[in-house]
Chains A and B, each alone.
Chain A
Amino acid sequence: MNSETDISKKYWKPKSKWWFAAAVLSIAAAAAVNALVPDVQTVNTSYYRIVLAAFIAALLALWTTPVLARKLRHKLYHYSQFIAAAGLLLAVLDLLTTKSDILKLPFFPGPAQIIEVLFTERNTLFICTVYSLRLFFAGLACGVVLGIATGVMIGWNRQWNYWLFPVLKVVGVIPPVAWIPIALAVFPTSFYAGIFLLVLTSWFSIAFMVATGIESTPKAYFEVSRTLGANDRFLLFHVAIPNAVPSIFTGIATSAGMCFMTLVIIEMIGAKAGLGWYINWAKAWASYDKVYASIVIMGVAFCIILGVINVFRNYFLRWQKGTVR
C-alpha cells in the first residue's frame, strides 16, 4: 500500500482546502454574529470574541507555516468539517441565548457566558481540576499496579487462580459507587476514600484483562522457549507478560473511563474539592454557567487523559504497527 492511499484511509478529505476555508469562515461567522447582533442578556462577550479570534489566528498560522509537516496539514483538513459545524452551532446557540433570550437563564447560558465563566473563575476551576486529576491519577495508578499484579497471579498460578478468581468475579460486578457510604466512614479523609473507590473501579477490570492476556499465550511460545533453554521465570517475564500487554492497555483504557465516572460521583457526594464538587456547589447557587464550564473542562481533560494513555500504548505496542489493533 502506498502512502497516498494510506493518508486518505486515515483522514477524511485530507486534501480538501475548501472545507478548511469553510471552517475558518464559520468561526468568523460566529464571531461576526456575536459582534454585530445586539445582546439581550447582560454578558461580557469580550472573552468569547477573543477566544474565537485566537482560534481563527491559530488555524491560519498552522495553515501558513511553511515548516508544517504535510501530515499535520492533512490532520488540520481532516478536522475542518467538524470545526465548520462547531462554528455554526456556536452562532446558533449564541442567537438563541445571549442575543434573544429564547433559551432562558439560568439553565441555558450562551457560549459567550460559559467562556466568560471559564475566564473569571479560572483560579477556582484550575485548583479544582488539579484536585480532580490528582485523585484520578493516584487512584488509577494504584488500581493499575494492583490489577496487573493480581492479573498475573491469576493467569499464571493455579493456586492463586483458585482463591482470587471467585473474589474477582463477585466483587467485580458490584458498582464501586455502592461502597461510597462505607468508604467515607472508614477512611480518614475523602481523598483516601476516593482512592479506595477508584482502586475498586480499576483493579478488577484490569486484573481480568491481564489474566485473560496471560492465559491466551499460545502454547507454542512456551514450548519453543523451553527448547531454547528458558526456565519458568523467563516464560513468565519474557513470554506470558509481553503477550498480555495489549490486553493490559485495553484494561487501562476502559477502566480509565469508568474511573472518571466514579471520580465525578465521589466528588459530587463526598469531596470538598474537585470538578465534581464544583458542579454541586455551583448548582446550589443556581450558577448553571459554572456547571457547564466544569463540564467543558471535564470533556477536555478526559480527552487529554485518553490521548496520553494512547501515546504510551503506541509506544509499547509499536510491534503491532500495520497489523490489526
Chain B
Amino acid sequence: MIEIRNVSRIYYDTAGLPVEALQAVSLEIREGEFLSLIGPSGCGKTTLLRLIAGLDLPRSGELFIEGRAIEKPSHERGYVFQQAALFPWKTVEENIAIGLKARHIYKEKKGLVPEYIHLVGLDGFSKSYPHELSGGMMQRVAIARALINKPKVLLLDEPLGALDAFTRIELQDTIRRIRRETGTTIVLVTHDVDEAIYLSDRIAIMTARPGKINEIIKVEINSERDRNRDDFIGLRRRALEKLHLAGVVYANVQGGGEAI
C-alpha cells in the first residue's frame, strides 16, 4: 500500500557538514499490517516516518501511497508525536474533533467524537483540559485525534517513549486492541525491542550513519503474545543480535548477550 523507493535524505550538522540521515532506503508497507522501525538514535527512523507523513521531502527517491506520490501531509496519514502535542486550550473532545473541524465535516460527523473517546478508553474525560491528564492519557487523546480521520495509515513516532513502564505496557495493549477493532495500517518508530515484537507483524531494523534498513524480521507469533514464552524470547534474541551486528550496544537486556 505504501511504497518507498530508493529514498535518501541529508541534513547538515552544527558544523555545516552533511550527514546522510537516510541512504537509498526501499520498503513496502502492506495494507493492514503493523510495521515497526527500530534502531539506535540517529538511524533515521523518525526521518523515514516524517517522509511517509509528507512533513519532509526526500532529497532523492520516491514515496507512494496506493500508487499516488506523497508530496505533503494529508489527513489520510495520521501522525502521533512522542510529545502528544495536544492543544492546551482545547478540551479532550475539542482536541479529538480538530481533524473534523479542519476538514469542515464537523457538523455531519461530530457523533464520532464520543465513539473515539470510548475507543481509546477516555470515557468521562471529554471535558478535561490537557494539563489535567497524565502522559499516557494525553497519548490516548493524540491517537484518537489521528484516528477520527480514518487514516489509511497511522504513523506512531515513539508515542510511548516518554511514559513510565506500567503505562507503556497498558498503552501497548490499547494499541493492539485499537488495531484489532479498526484494522488500520500502523507504522511504529521505537527503540524498545520488546514493544516492537509485542505489537508488530514485521520489524525493520535500521542502522545509523548512513541510515538504512539492515534487515526485516517477520514476527510469526499468532497467538496472544507472551513476553516470557520461548518464541518471544527467541525473536528478542534474534532482533538484538541483528542490532549488535549492526554495531548497536544494548546492555542489560535479558537474552541479549554481550555487547560487541
A binds B: yes
A residues at B contact (CB < 8 Å): 218, 220-221, 223-231, 234, 238-239, 242-243, 245, 319-323
Q: A221-B87, A227-B55 are in contact. List 16 more A-B contacts (CB 8 A).
A: A220-B83, A224-B145, A227-B73, A227-B74, A227-B155, A228-B75, A228-B98, A228-B99, A228-B103, A229-B75, A234-B102, A243-B89, A319-B88, A319-B90, A319-B131, A322-B132
B81 x A239 contact (CB < 8 A) = no
B126 at the interface (CB under 8 A from A): no
Measured between alpha carbons, how far is A238 from B106 in the docked complex, in Å?
14
Contacts of A231 in B (CB 8 A): 102
Given A234-B102, A242-B87, CB of A228 within 8 Å of CB of B131: no
B40 CB to nearest A CB, Å: 23
Decide if B89 touches A242 in the complex (CB within 8 Å): yes
In the bound complex, residues from chain B placing their C-beta under 8 Å from that of A242 are 87, 89
Q: A221-B87, A238-B98, A245-B89 are in contact. Are A227 and B77 (CB under 8 A)?
A: yes
Interface residues of B (CB under 8 A from A): 53-55, 72-75, 77-79, 81, 83, 85, 87-91, 98-99, 101-103, 129, 131-132, 142, 145-146, 149, 155
Q: Can you list 13 A-B pairs, Cβ within 8 angstroms, ordered by A?
A: A220-B83, A223-B79, A226-B55, A227-B146, A228-B78, A228-B145, A234-B101, A234-B102, A238-B101, A242-B87, A319-B91, A322-B131, A323-B131
Are B85 and A229 interface neighbours, CB within 8 A?
A: no
Q: Are A221 and B85 touching (Cβ within 8 A)? A: yes
What chain A residues lie within 8 Å of B99 (beta carbons)?
A: 228-229
What is the CA–CA distance of A245 and B89 in the complex, to the nearest angstrom? 10
The reply to whether A224 and B81 contact each other, CB–CB distance below 8 Å, is: yes
Complex: A245 Cα to B53 Cα, angstroms: 30
A219: nearest chain-B partner, CB-CB: B85
Q: Contacts of B89 on A, CB cut-off 8 Å?
A: 242-243, 245, 319
The CA-CA distance from A230 to B100 in the complex, in Å, is 10
Whether B79 pairs with A229 at a CB distance below 8 angstroms is no
Chain B residues with Cβ below 8 Å from A225 are 98, 102
List the A side residues contacting B77 at CB < 8 Å: 227
Q: Which residues of chain A come closer than 8 Å to B88, judged between CB atoms? A: 319-320
* In contact, B79 and A224 (Cβ under 8 angstroms): yes
In the bound complex, residues from chain B placing their C-beta under 8 Å from that of A239 are 87
A227 to B55, CA, bound (A): 8
Closest CB in chain A relative to B4 CB, distance in Å? 18
Complex partner residue of B102 from A218, A229, A320, A322, CB under 8 angstroms: A229
Specify which of B85, B90, B91 is in contact with A224 (CB 8 Å cutoff): B85
Contact of A230 with B102 in the complex, beta carbons under 8 Å: yes
Does the CB pair A226–B73 fall under 8 Å? yes
